[in-house]
Amino acid sequence: MLRGMIRAGRFRPWHDRTGILRWVLGAFLLTAPLGVWWLSGGVSIWRYGFSMPEGQVLYLSSKLAGLYTFVLLSVQILGALGRAGWLPVNPVPRFSAKWHRRLGIMTILLMLLHVGLFVGAVSARMGHFAYSLLLPDFFGGHYKFMVSLGWLGGVLLLGVAVSGFVRTMRDRGDGVHRLAVPILVLVLIHAQQIGSEAGSGVLYYSFMAIGALVVGSLAVGMIHRLEQRKII
């Protein structure tokens, strides 16, 4: 597709500031999570390879998929706020409804990959399939509670995806689709509490920075809406 656009002379992002921002954002989304993951433990795969403890490669790969899921979900929310006119200045370039759906599908696939790799990692460590991870356990201690928060966020995210499909077909499902914001909060808490490397260092500050960007954008959007309605 890109090659065809270049040959046809339609690939000229430098003529459009928004086009430049889209390509810069795309490059950042591809490289930044990988860099954060590498600095927060991914480099050990390069150093030790498959000589690491059983399931560790799967666990680190799961963390990478989870990080991409969190980043794409944040971009989806910011993009939706911009398209809905909530933000006077959008921190991400506006993209079409088609790209919103594409990014949504990518987010869901990455989330499922994250879950599958994590279950595989735990199963490898236990020596048998980790059936216990298929259902939540909110009363089994701190670790299981945090894993269950991730489970709940994943189920709700699937519901949001289904609501988006229903909204496209029948112009309904807006209420459920707005659950993406509390889901992001659940995912943030889950991500910060799972794994010894998540509570500090570059991974911690990356999650907090993205979370602050989304929450700050929501706050600005609410103030902007109230000003439009002359409430404040």
- Cα distances (angstroms) measured from residue 69 to each of 13, 33, 113, 118, 186: 27, 10, 9, 14, 13
Cβ pair 147, 62 in contact under 8 A: no
**Cα 133 to Cα 118: distance, rounded to the nearest angstrom:** 9
**Could you tell me the pTM of the whole model?**
0.79
Give every CB contact of residue 25 below 8 A, 6+ residues apart in sequence: 75, 92, 93
CA-CA distances (angstroms) from residue 221 to 111, 218, 229? 27, 5, 12
Where does 29-228 sit in CATH, by number? 1.20.120
* Residue 67 near residue 36 (C-beta atoms within 8 A): yes
Contact in structure between 154 and 173 (CB atoms under 8 Å) = no
Mean pLDDT of successive 10-residue segments in the chain (232 residues)?
49 53 70 82 75 85 90 85 69 71 91 95 91 89 91 92 71 65 88 67 77 82 76 66
pLDDT of residue 203: 73
Indicate the DSSP class of residue 16.
-
Amino acid 25: pLDDT: 66
3-state per-residue secondary structure call for 125-174: HHCCCCHHHHCCCCCCCHHHHHHHHHHHHHHHHHHHHHHHHHHHHHCCCH
Q: Is 134 exposed, middle or buried (0-12, 13-18, 19+ CB in 10 A)?
A: exposed
For the record, the structure tokens of 219 come out as 């706050």
